[in-house]
Amino acid sequence: MFKAPCPSCGGELIFRSKTTVLCVCSYCRSNVIRHDVDLELMGKQADLLPDMSPLQIGVTGIYKRKRFHVLGRQILGWPDGRWNEWYIMFSNGSDGWIAEAQGEFSVLLAPKERPGLPNLSSLKTKKTLKIDKHTYTLVDRKKVECLGSEGELPFKAVAGDKSLVLDYSDGKNRFASIEIGSSPDFNIFVGSFITLAKVRATGLREFEGWGKP
């Protein structure tokens, strides 16, 4: 864990993950980029639009016998809607994501073996992928835009950033997701659907009249 004052307002910033690149100050909404022990300001985030998500920074749970903490969130949008991607860190130091869309939740982790793809252009047209001995078929592709972020994230996620998201399914409970941004590289994750009750999530937001998720 690394603590430092915000370069803009002096409020305390806490970097819980070693892989954190961006931390959004909870006091002044400044984007703070971490370069080892040095911090750099990169503009400010607008206030996030309110939503009814039960998740929030600080939520904990257990997935595959490992406890996790929710550290941050980015909101992605496209012409037909938006969804949340919550950045999580496990007790062993590894990390991942909880994707939340239309009331459904899924955990996404980096694959054990990154699929061998010759170049980025082939990835954009590839209909099937074999990852960790499972075959996935392309089911959706869309151009998305970052609508905002909060907390800690392992990369720079600033409102207005655009990327291409490719979603694959194995026809069962497993799926894969690839995000291609402006850099030559891309991020790939594999995951499965969960419920918040199944991962024993605690610290959830509470809404009057709602039962447990």
- pLDDT > 60? residue 131: yes
Q: Tell me the CB-side half-sphere exposure of residue 4, using CA atoms within 13 A.
A: 17
- Annotated domain spans of the chain: 2-44
49-61, pLDDT tens digit by residue?
A: 778 899 999 999 9
Local structure of 5: helix, strand or coil: strand
Ramachandran category for residue 112: left, alpha or beta (phi over 0 → left; psi -120 to 50 → alpha): alpha
- pLDDT > 90? residue 3: no
User: Are 196 and 63 a contacting pair, CB within 8 Å?
Assistant: no
Which tokens in the block code for residue 70?
């929710």
Q: Which of 25-34, 35-44, 134-143, 172-181 has the lowest mean pLDDT?
A: 35-44
User: Are 149 and 72 a contacting pair, CB within 8 Å?
Assistant: yes
Tell me, what DSSP letter sits at residue 113? Answer: S
| Number of other residues whose CB lies within 10 A of the CB of residue 52 | 8
- pLDDT > 90? residue 102: no
Q: What are phi and psi of 122, to 5 degrees?
A: -70, -35
**Which CATH class name applies to 2-44?**
mainly beta
Q: What are phi and psi of 71, to 5 degrees?
A: -105, -30
Query: pTM here?
Result: 0.83
pLDDT of 77: 93
What's the whole-number average pLDDT of the chain? 86
pLDDT of 20: 84
Q: For 91-100, what is the mean pLDDT?
A: 94
